[in-house]
């Protein structure tokens, strides 16, 4: 049996032949509210009843439900899910609008670029638009990403939905786009007290988490939720930042127990780079380093024990790597497979 069933990532999307007539149940939008940023002065409307996260100076993220958040990082198996996201990136010698467009594209295992690139308008300024759609088990995934520059800052707005539900949101998505005010260079030296609270960093105090297939210690302020990946079990651990997570997926490995072969077969799905040898739970393991989205760094660890193959995926916000990675590595050192 091919190990393709083991891995479904945002960087490596397996195209299926399932009919696009399949459709998930969309989470309705019960009105929109305007979110403003006091540092870069951007604005965007988001659904009142969705799970919303805001970080001063660079992010507003609305997910149809918190349970759907991990799916936009792993592109794993699940039912539906939609998001609205605004990110602000200041331009410098290493960051240009073209580099941001390139980094925002998902990579497919056949190396074909399925994106349509066109011109658009965002916040009253000329913009570039990336659009893509492809089938998943619960129906079509579709996204539109808009890029516009103002005052040497690029504002990126992403609208996306799984389960062939994008069309259900088109009216509201149009209102969201028309509400956008582009980011600009900071006009204040520090966050104002009235602004939204920043996400809480991971606690350096760990607590035990006991799952049916494994045990691990996670930050005291993280919670575990059932993940959306095919296999024997899947658990995702996250705090107040939705793009900084640890996910553990356990799969049936009766048909392929050779870890070296699994790594070789999956190398192309992680950018083609070599895997790094390590150990996990006292067992031989390898990990790939990759980038599933702009400014997100990830590692995917693989190990085989008995009839089970385990993948542990860590995702963190790259500008805050010094905050998250040491704690995540500390958590990983406590992982034990039952």
Residue 93 has pLDDT above 80, yes or no: no
pLDDT at 37 over 60: yes
Mean pLDDT of 60-82: 87
How many percent of the chain have pLDDT more than 90?
A: 48
**Domain coordinates of the chain in residue numbers?**
3-179, 206-337
Residues facing residue 61 across a β-bridge: 53, 85
**Residue 281: which pLDDT band, with cuts at 50, 70 and 90?**
confident
For 281, left (φ over 0), alpha (ψ -120 to 50), or beta? left
Spatial distance between the Cα atoms of 255 and 74, rounded to a whole number of angstroms? 23
| Residue range 178-200, pLDDT digits in tens | 999 999 987 544 444 555 556 78
Q: Any idea which of 96-110, 208-222, 235-249 has the lowest mean pLDDT?
A: 96-110
Q: Which residue has the tokens 């005010």?
A: 181
Averaged pLDDT of the chain: 85
CATH architecture of the domain formed by 3-179: 3-Layer(aba) Sandwich (3.40)
Q: How confident is the model at residue 269 (pLDDT cuts 50, 70, 90)?
A: confident
- Please give the radius of gyration of the chain, using alpha carbons only, rounded to the nearest integer: 20
Rounded to an integer, the average pLDDT of 117-133 is 96
240: left (phi over 0), alpha (psi -120 to 50) or beta: alpha
Q: 206-337 belongs to which CATH class?
A: alpha beta
**Are domains 3-179 and 206-337 of this chain identical in fold?**
yes
Please, are residues 158 and 145 in contact by the beta-carbon 8 Å criterion? yes
Contacts of 228 (CB under 8 A, 6+ apart): 67, 68, 70, 71, 74, 76, 77, 78, 79, 234
Q: How far apart, in whole angstroms, are the C-alpha atoms of residue 23 and residue 30?
A: 20
């Amino acid at each position: 049996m091919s190990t393709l069933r083991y891995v479904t990532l945002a960087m490596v999307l397996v195209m299926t032949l399932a009919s696009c007539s399949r459709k998930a149940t969309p989470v309705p939008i019960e009105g929109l509210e305007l979110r403003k940023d006091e540092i870069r002065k951007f604005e965007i409307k988001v659904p009142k009843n969705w799970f919303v996260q805001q970080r001063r100076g660079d992010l507003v993220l609305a997910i149809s439900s918190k349970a759907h958040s991990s799916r936009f990082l792993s592109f794993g198996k699940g039912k539906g899910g939609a998001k609205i996201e605004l990110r602000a990136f200041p331009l410098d010698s290493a960051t240009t609008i073209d580099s941001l467009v390139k980094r925002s594209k998902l990579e497919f295992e056949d190396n074909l670029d399925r994106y349509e690139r066109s011109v658009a308008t965002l916040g009253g300024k000329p913009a570039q638009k990336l659009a893509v759609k492809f089938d998943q088990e619960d129906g079509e995934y579709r996204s539109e990403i808009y890029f516009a520059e103002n005052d040497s800052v690029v504002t990126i707005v992403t609208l996306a939905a799984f389960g062939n539900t994008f069309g259900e949101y088109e009216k509201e998505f149009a209102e969201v786009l028309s509400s956008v005010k582009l980011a600009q260079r900071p006009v204040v030296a520090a966050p104002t007290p009235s602004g939204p609270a920043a996400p809480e960093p991971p606690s350096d105090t760990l607590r035990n988490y006991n799952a049916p297939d494994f045990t691990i210690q996670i930050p005291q302020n993280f919670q575990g939720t059932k993940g959306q990946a095919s296999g024997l079990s899947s658990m995702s651990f996250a705090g107040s930042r939705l793009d900084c997570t640890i996910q553990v997926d356990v799969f049936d490995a009766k048909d392929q127990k050779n870890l070296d072969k699994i790594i070789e077969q999956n190398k192309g799905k992680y950018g083609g780079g070599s895997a790094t040898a390590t150990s996990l739970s006292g067992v031989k393991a390898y990990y790939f380093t990759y980038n599933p989205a702009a400014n997100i760094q990830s590692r995917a660890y693989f190990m085989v024990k008995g009839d089970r193959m385990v993948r542990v995926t860590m995702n963190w916000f790259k500008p805050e790597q010094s905050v998250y990675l040491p704690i995540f590595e500390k958590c990983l050192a406590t992982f034990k497979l039952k």
